[in-house]
Structure 1
Amino acid sequence: MKTGGFLAGLVLLAAGAPSAVRAETLTNDMVVSLVQAGLGDDAVIAKIKASAAHYALSTDDLITLKKRGVSGPVIAAMIDAGSQGAVSSKAAFSADSPDPLVPHPSGVYLANDARMVRIDPTTSNQSKTGGILGYAFTGGIASLSIKAVIPNITARVRTGRARPTFYFYFDEATRGLSQAGGASLWLSGPASAITSPNEFSLIRFDVKKDRRETRVGSMNLAGAKAGVMDKDRIPFDYEQVTPGVFKVTPSADLPTGEYGFIYSVSAGAGPGMWGNGTGSARIFDFAIHP
């Protein structure tokens, strides 16, 4: 009886092993690691055929693979696997999978234990000024601040974690794939050239009666500044998970409040300070409420 139970357990483990192998998602770097470990082309190609994949296969990517020691047959197997995946790419997309290597529609996501939540950008089409009296009474010595305003006192997306994790998906991550969610978020306007979280600023909002505000400019006799002020930026760290996909975390715990990632402050239409880039901003807003 004991021997039979032991054998049955081995059978169950063996049955589950292929599923675990198939669940792994290979990337360019993982293939390079297998090659550099000396496994041989046959073993690496077998692994490629047995595994899900998320490869970057542009001309430059293929040249880089060759320079890193990947043979022609292995690269061909990667291209074949990539082309097969592209046929069913629409089904492969997921808007809430917790696995960062699973293709997601482009955008910014908050990671929770069981799923990712996409943060839709909020556009600030209003600007307001603060410190006008001090600016006027001091003849422009005191600074006048310019603020971007977004409606409502709290964000739709919330988390109870003081140091949440985010994933940024740019177009490079979905190159050659048809996005199930429609057009890319980054294809037009100032966002078309964005390829890294380093081009964003993490800010905290001041909550007012029916709105949230953040400073995006200032002006005094010395001149005008547009964009998020250095002292208003909240530091964050990021690392590339795979081409076009980045993991982002605040550098320290964040207190309860309203926050957002802001990536552009476009120019206003009026003269003077309104022509210095304070007209509108797109913000990926979220709230921390334990």
Structure 2
Amino acid sequence: MVSIGTAADLEAETLTNKNVVDLVMAGLGDEAVIAKVRASTATYNLATNDLIILKKSGVSGSVIAAMIEADARGGVPSRAALSADSADPLVPHPSGLYMLADWLPQPKMVRLDPTISNQSKTGGLLGYAFTGGIASLSIKTVIPNVTAPIKASRSRPTFYFYFDEANRAPSQPPAGSVWLSGAASAVSSPNEFTLVSFEIKKDRRETRVGSMNLAGAKSGVMDKDRIAFVYEQIAPGVFKVSPKADLPAGEYGFLYAIGGGTGPGMWSRGTGASRIFDFSIQH
């Protein structure tokens, strides 16, 4: 009779060097062994001599690398190593932008999902036309709905940015990034974001991202429309961010451009697609 282990039994198994060698000797391919290494708790011996013994026992370099990465996580399975809502910023989180909801009875991290805006509209067109271009024409980016799904009950909430570096082991090559910006380059610092406020319209929110008059065109968020914030790096790829001053009740977002527009002149610089991590301040 074949004994079938329960899920609890499987979770309780702790891999050792010998277990890995046994899996390799049993003929399992590297893909299966690496999956097992990543999904299991482990206690490995990985001194130089141990690595040499593993290699001589037929363990491939890819499997050994997976063991080293698992050991660097403290032997915790990779699926359990990341927390989506732990209030401790030093606990690994999936890449993304989080708000610390420390006003709750049990504080937790709340992830802000980005909104992609590829809509631009003009403001002040009548004045621009009547004055022959002396008055400025505003270019605005638009996102749907009148309010953000994530609400903050503090005037100066704390945010944490987890970039790809935070979750990539030294031996792991760069992969596809959730932080891609223009030209497929990856964002890696809060300094590449702009904190802005949004004006609420009938069924949408808008913020100015450019202007144009006789003196020329300006693309990007104007200095006077930027909300100052401070940040500090607390771990590789992890940054703590907070506004410099209290924010009034309203709609806000961290914005960065992920591609230009398709029109001529200023329309192709900074007024195209933007990724916006939006939130509301409620008192």
- TM-score scaled by length of structure 2: 0.69
Per-residue deviation, residues 212-268 of structure 1 (Å, max 9, x unmatched): 000001111111111111110000011111110000010000000000000116311
Aligned equivalents of 2:97, 2:145: Cα separation in 1 = 20
Q: Do residues 282 (structure 1) and 271 (structure 2) align?
A: no
Q: Do residues 205 (structure 1) and 201 (structure 2) align?
A: no
Q: Do residues 216 (structure 1) and 209 (structure 2) align?
A: yes
SS in 2 for 1:193: coil
Aligned equivalents of 2:69, 2:79: Cα separation in 1 = 18
Q: Which residue of 2 aligns with 1:246?
A: 239
| Contact persistence 2:177–2:186 (CA under 8 A) | no
Q: Which residue of 2 aligns with 1:64?
A: none
Question: By how many angstroms is 1:195 displaced?
Answer: 1.2
Moved more, 184-193 or 249-258: 184-193
Aligned equivalents of 1:265, 1:141: Cα separation in 2 = 31
Write the mapping of 1:103-142 to structure 2, written as runs, cut at 5 A.
Answer: 103-113=92-102, 114-142=107-135
Question: By how many angstroms is 1:133 displaced?
Answer: 1.0
Moved more, 264-273 or 232-241: 264-273
Q: Which runs of 5+ in 1 are unaligned?
A: 1-78
Aligned equivalents of 1:230, 1:129: Cα separation in 2 = 19
Aligned equivalents of 2:252, 2:201: Cα separation in 1 = 14
| Contact persistence 1:203–1:259 (CA under 8 A) | yes
Aligned equivalents of 2:152, 2:187: Cα separation in 1 = 26
Write the mapping of 1:29-108 to structure 2, written as runs, cut at 5 A.
Answer: 82-83=71-72, 85=74, 88-108=77-97
Q: Do residues 169 (structure 1) and 158 (structure 2) align?
A: no
Q: Which residue of 2 aligns with 1:185?
A: 178
| Contact persistence 1:191–1:264 (CA under 8 A) | no
> Percent identity of the aligned residues?
71
Match of 1:194 among 187, 191, 205: 187
Which AA in structure 2 matches 1:133?
L
Question: By how many angstroms is 1:125 displaced?
Answer: 1.8
Q: Do residues 152 (structure 1) and 145 (structure 2) align?
A: yes
Q: Do residues 258 (structure 1) and 247 (structure 2) align?
A: no
Higher normalized helix content (fraction of residues): 1
SS in 2 for 1:136: helix
Per-residue deviation, residues 178-219 of structure 1 (Å, max 9, x unmatched): xxxx96412565573311111110000000110000000111
Segments of 4+ moved more than 6 angstroms: none
Aligned equivalents of 2:148, 2:222: Cα separation in 1 = 22
Aligned equivalents of 2:75, 2:127: Cα separation in 1 = 60
Note closer, same or farther for the CA distance 1:117–1:96 as it changes in structure 2 (3 Å cut): same
Note closer, same or farther for the CA distance 1:122–1:217 as it changes in structure 2 (3 Å cut): same
Which AA in structure 1 matches 2:269?
N
Q: Which runs of 5+ in 2 are unaligned?
A: 1-67
| Contact persistence 1:268–1:276 (CA under 8 A) | yes
SS in 2 for 1:261: strand
SS in 1 for 2:80: helix
SS in 1 for 2:185: helix
| Contact persistence 1:265–1:278 (CA under 8 A) | no
Question: By how many angstroms is 1:276 displaced?
Answer: 2.8
Note closer, same or farther for the CA distance 1:205–1:153 as it changes in structure 2 (3 Å cut): same
Superposed CA RMSD: 2.4
Note closer, same or farther for the CA distance 1:190–1:119 as it changes in structure 2 (3 Å cut): farther
Which AA in structure 2 matches 1:102?
V
Aligned equivalents of 1:269, 1:210: Cα separation in 2 = 25
Which AA in structure 2 matches 1:274?
W
Question: By how many angstroms is 1:86 displaced?
Answer: 6.5
Note closer, same or farther for the CA distance 1:95–1:84 as it changes in structure 2 (3 Å cut): closer
Note closer, same or farther for the CA distance 1:82–1:142 as it changes in structure 2 (3 Å cut): farther
